[in-house]
Chain A
Amino acid sequence: MALEFELLEHTSDVGILARGDNREEALVAASHGLASILVDPAGFRPLEERYFKAPGRDEAAQIVNWLNEILFFFDTDGLVFVEFTIDSWNSAEIIGRAKGERFDIDHHELRTAVKAATYHQFESHPASRGWEIRVFVDV
């Protein structure tokens, strides 16, 4: 199954429903979903790499922290990631990497600023076809 995500919207919320063959793939799909809220991801290349470390007392905290890494590097380095690799995921943390390119206002399209990923209506579970993650972000 290909990585896929859809954006969910309520009145003031934006959410990501991501699917993959397994939990790791669903998280990668959710990561692409988050990038697509921030910018139009078309045209970004995998030029720079950053290491992600997302600790947490449970899976929800780890996933929320992983997605918050994307926001951190966007705010600090202007990086938009287009490739994500999960190296390990245990009960304490997710370790991985992401590759992307710095946002350039003259060449890329900015969409919506995101403040944070949240636990609001969070879900992560096996689904009929692989794994599903749902996470809402504060925009």
Chain B
Amino acid sequence: MQLEKIDDYRWLIPRTYKPGMRTDTVIYASERLLQAIRQDQSLEQAANVAMLPGIVGRALAMPDIHQGYGFPIGGVAAVDEEHGVVSPGGVGFDINCGVRLLSSTLTVKDIKAKLRDLVHQLFRDIPSGTGQSSRIKLSDTDLNNVLEKGPRWAIEHDMGSEADLDHTEERGCIAEADAYAVSERAKQRGRAQLGTLGSGNHFLEVQFVDEVFDAQTAAQYNLEKDRIVVLIHTGSRGLGHQVCTDYVSQLDSAMRKYELHVPDRQLACAPIQSPEGQRYLHAMAASANFAWTNRQCIAHATRGAFKRVFGDNVNLPVIYDVAHNIAKRELHMVDGRQRRVVVHRKGATRAFPNQPVFIPGSMGTASYFLTGQEGAMRETFGSACHGAGRVMSRSAAKKGVTAKEIQKELESRGIIVESLTREGLTEEKPDAYKDIESVVDVVHNAGLAARVARLRPIGVIKG
């Protein structure tokens, strides 16, 4: 594919690239990252996103873009709320997969001697959810309340405080959530999974502040060098997967009724204002609320584990909790006028000015704390990247290395890892992912989000 270079961090797929594109697509990447991006079909998928009916502005792709299903992972598209479509494929199967960061007053020195105990306690207290049930038993009413109230339900059940909500995107609750738009099958799939981490690239890490780039902003969040933080990366578990499955199927059937055509069936969509579109948005919002509650419950278990190891005086307040797989109704300036749009962010983090943005790494690699910048509001509907993106297939990652070897190698670097599965270690090993530094460089230099601090793991639990 021939890309037009706009500058060192922006590349254009013009709308003339293929019939059906309604707008241009802009890829945020360096020349080096682009070489990796070209290895899969993600650029083709990013061009397909530009075909969505009602898309406004440009279709966008973040520097961690890689091949997804329908949308690329790292794709952003805003559609007109009145005349556009909503696509479950533009959110993904893991609805409101996201990141919550907890701060502490502890330093590396304070926890070093008991780190192994801490990681073990966290591993015991936070189930992965596969082959291990949640400790939280939900009645039908509880589950409906989780879906419609989000983490407020957890707080009402002594799993957190009001302050946690103050530091969560949307205060953890999208009001249009409707538990009745979520199928019984989805509820069955999620019922035993609240407070569970899941597997794959999901993890909980005990990290320390390795480097501070912006001391003033870091100080606002009580962050300084060597300070301990906890990063929780997970989503809506089987409930969200089933909601996406249900609605891809329903919208796939509804498309004929609305005479909609998309180049890839995983981009199945419906007009936002149609009954099907509305119902999906209600169910997606309920799944997003479930995910925020999931991270709330995991944060509560994390606090319990820290207290058991370090005593009752340890507090782990929430710095922020932000989604990176979601569709949100927002107001944005487009071509000089304010418009109501639904922003699809699939593997992209909301990055409103001064809002914390977390870019999780993978086990041995660093994670980043950034803040959103004005440039994101001007160019990307307030969005930035969400991770590093794979460069190695899972089987390639597993080849020639055992879980024990990875565990040992990480331990030699001072990182203690506990994983339920061998695959959790081998498939997710650090070099299976793009270099996160180069991904962060692009969003920083393009003015979408600014570096605040780099966080390095010393304890990891995985499913």
Query: Which residue numbers of A lie inside 8 Å of B, CB to CB?
Result: 7, 9-14, 56-57, 60-61, 64-65, 68, 71-72, 75-76, 78, 103-105, 108-113, 115-116, 118-120, 122, 136, 138-139
Q: A115-B94, A118-B266, A119-B265 are in contact. Are A11 and B69 (CB under 8 A)?
A: no
Q: A9-B396, A78-B131, A116-B93 are in contact. List 7 more A-B contacts (CB 8 A).
A: A61-B249, A76-B238, A103-B130, A113-B130, A118-B69, A118-B266, A119-B264
Which of A11, A111, A116 gathers the greatest number of chain B CB atoms within 10 Å?
A: A11
CA distance A116 to B189 in the complex (A): 12
Q: Are A7 and B130 in contact (CB under 8 A)?
A: no
Report, nearest first, the 9 A-B pairs whose CB atoms are least far apart: A119-B265, A105-B131, A115-B93, A9-B393, A75-B238, A115-B241, A113-B199, A75-B189, A118-B69
User: Closest approach, in angstroms, between the C-beta of A114 and any C-beta of chain B?
Assistant: 9
A-side contacts of B39, CB under 8 Å: 11
User: Closest approach, in angstroms, between the C-beta of B239 and any C-beta of chain A?
Assistant: 9
CA distance A121 to B284 in the complex (A): 25
Q: Does B421 contact A (CB under 8 A)?
A: yes
Give the size range of B's interface with the partner: 35 or more
Q: A11-B393, A57-B253, A75-B189 are in contact. Are A112 and B200 (CB under 8 A)?
A: yes
CA distance A113 to B129 in the complex (A): 10
Q: Does B81 contact A (CB under 8 A)?
A: no
Q: Are B252 and A12 in contact (CB under 8 A)?
A: no
User: Closest approach, in angstroms, between the C-beta of A111 and any C-beta of chain B?
Assistant: 5
B-side contacts of A13, CB under 8 Å: 67, 393
One digit per residue, 1 when the CB lies within 8 angstroms of any chain A CB and 0 when it does not, for chain B 75-90 equals 0000000000000000
A-side contacts of B253, CB under 8 Å: 57
B-side contacts of A60, CB under 8 Å: 265
B-side contacts of A68, CB under 8 Å: 245
A-side contacts of B67, CB under 8 Å: 10-13
User: Closest approach, in angstroms, between the C-beta of B206 and any C-beta of chain A?
Assistant: 23
**Subset of 25 A-B contacts with CB under 8 Å:** A7-B395, A10-B40, A11-B40, A11-B66, A12-B40, A12-B68, A12-B73, A12-B390, A56-B249, A57-B253, A60-B265, A64-B249, A72-B189, A72-B242, A75-B238, A76-B188, A104-B131, A108-B131, A112-B423, A113-B200, A115-B244, A116-B244, A120-B266, A138-B69, A139-B394
Q: Are A9 and B249 in contact (CB under 8 A)?
A: no
B-side contacts of A103, CB under 8 Å: 130-131
CA distance A122 to B421 in the complex (A): 29
User: Closest approach, in angstroms, between the C-beta of A40 and any C-beta of chain B?
Assistant: 10
User: Closest approach, in angstroms, between the C-beta of A31 and any C-beta of chain B?
Assistant: 17
Q: Does B54 contact A (CB under 8 A)?
A: no
B-side contacts of A76, CB under 8 Å: 188-189, 191-192, 238
Q: A65-B249, A118-B266 are in contact. Are A14 and B189 (CB under 8 A)?
A: no
B-side contacts of A72, CB under 8 Å: 185, 188-189, 242
CA distance A110 to B427 in the complex (A): 13
| Chain B positions 194-222 with a Cβ under 8 Å from a chain A Cβ | 198-200
A-side contacts of B252, CB under 8 Å: 57, 61, 119
User: Closest approach, in angstroms, between the C-beta of A124 and any C-beta of chain B?
Assistant: 13
Q: Which residue of B lies closest to A57 (CB)?
A: B253
Q: Does B105 contact A (CB under 8 A)?
A: no
Q: Are A112 and B394 in contact (CB under 8 A)?
A: yes
| Chain B positions 385-432 with a Cβ under 8 Å from a chain A Cβ | 389-396, 420-423, 427
Q: Does B132 contact A (CB under 8 A)?
A: yes
One digit per residue, 1 when the CB lies within 8 angstroms of any chain A CB and 0 when it does not, for chain B 366-390 equals 0000000000000000000000011
Q: Are A116 and B245 in contact (CB under 8 A)?
A: yes
Q: Does B160 contact A (CB under 8 A)?
A: no
CA distance A108 to B422 in the complex (A): 12
CA distance A138 to B93 in the complex (A): 8
One digit per residue, 1 when the CB lies within 8 angstroms of any chain A CB and 0 when it does not, for chain B 174-186 equals 0000000000010
A-side contacts of B459, CB under 8 Å: none
Q: Does B463 contact A (CB under 8 A)?
A: yes
Q: Are A119 and B391 in contact (CB under 8 A)?
A: no
Which of B73, B189, B389, B392 gathers the greatest number of chain A CB atoms within 10 Å?
A: B189
User: Closest approach, in angstroms, between the C-beta of B390 and any C-beta of chain A?
Assistant: 5
A-side contacts of B70, CB under 8 Å: 120
User: Closest approach, in angstroms, between the C-beta of A52 and any C-beta of chain B?
Assistant: 13
A-side contacts of B392, CB under 8 Å: 11
A-side contacts of B132, CB under 8 Å: 105
Q: Are B427 and A112 in contact (CB under 8 A)?
A: yes
User: Closest approach, in angstroms, between the C-beta of A103 and any C-beta of chain B?
Assistant: 5
CA distance A26 to B434 in the complex (A): 36
User: Closest approach, in angstroms, between the C-beta of B426 and any C-beta of chain A?
Assistant: 10
A-side contacts of B266, CB under 8 Å: 118-120
Q: Are B73 and A112 in contact (CB under 8 A)?
A: no
A-side contacts of B189, CB under 8 Å: 72, 75-76
CA distance A103 to B133 in the complex (A): 12
A-side contacts of B420, CB under 8 Å: 105, 110
B-side contacts of A138, CB under 8 Å: 69, 92-93, 241
User: Closest approach, in angstroms, between the C-beta of B311 and any C-beta of chain A?
Assistant: 31
Q: Are A110 and B395 in contact (CB under 8 A)?
A: no
CA distance A65 to B244 in the complex (A): 12
CA distance A72 to B184 in the complex (A): 12
Q: Are A116 and B241 in contact (CB under 8 A)?
A: yes
Which of B40, B67, B70, B394 gathers the greatest number of chain A CB atoms within 10 Å?
A: B394
